[in-house]
Amino acid sequence: MDVLGILIPVSLLLGGAGLAAFWWMLRKGQFDDPEGDAHRILREDYDDHPK
């Protein structure tokens, strides 16, 4: 069971990293327009100036 001493902190760290990534995406507005982003990526207009 000693391995728990390593696994629990590791799992918490990984989960925390996921939480931080989510916070970053929220700040960057990546959930504001999921449908539009899915379409935008198919257009060439935005290749040079993504927005």
Partner 1 sequence: MTAFADPQHPSACPACDAVPLAEQVAGKALDNARLMLALPGIHCAACISGVERLLCDQPGVRAARVNLTLRRASVDAEPGVTSEDLCAALNEVGYEAHELDPGLLAATDMDARGRALLMRLAVAVFAMMNVMLLSVAVWSGADGVTRDMMHWISAAIAIPAVLFCGQPFYGSALAALRAGRLNMDVPITLAIALAVGTSLYETMLSGEHAYFDAAIALCTFLLAGRYLDHRTRANARSAAQELAALEVPRALRLVGPGTETVAAADLRPGDLVRVLPGGRIPVDGRVVEGCTELDRSIMTGETLPSAAAPGCTVHAGEANLTGPITVEVTAAGRDTELARLGDLVAVAEAGRSNYTSLADAAAKLYAPGVHIVAVAAALGWFAYTRDLRVALNIAAAVLIITCPCALGLAVPAVTTAASARLFRKGLLIKDGTALERLAEVDTVVFDKTGTLTDGAPEPLGLDQLDERSARVVLALAQGSAHPLAQALEGGLTGRGIKPARVEHLQEVAGFGVEGEWEGMRVRLGRSGWVGGGAGVGTTATYLRIADGSAQALTFADTLRDGALELVQELQEQGKRVVLLSGDVAPAVESFAARLGVQDVISEARPEAKAEAVLALAEEGAHVLMVGDGMNDTAALAAAHVSISPASALEAARAASDMVLTGRSILPVVDAMQTARLSRARIKENFTIASVYNLLAVPLAVAGLCSPLIAALAMSASSLSVSLNALRLR
Q: Rounded to the nearest whole angstrom, what is the least distance from the CB of residue 19 to partner 1 in the complex?
A: 5
3-state SS, one letter per residue, for 1-51: CCCHHHHHHHHHHHHHHHHHHHHHHHHCCCCCCHHHHHHHCCCCCCCCCCC
The site string for partner 1 over 29-48 (x = CB under 8 A, - otherwise) reads: x--xxxxx--xx-xx-xx--
Sites of contact with partner 1 (CB under 8 A)? 1, 4, 8, 11-12, 15-16, 18-19, 22-23, 26, 29, 32-36, 39-40, 42-43, 45-46, 51
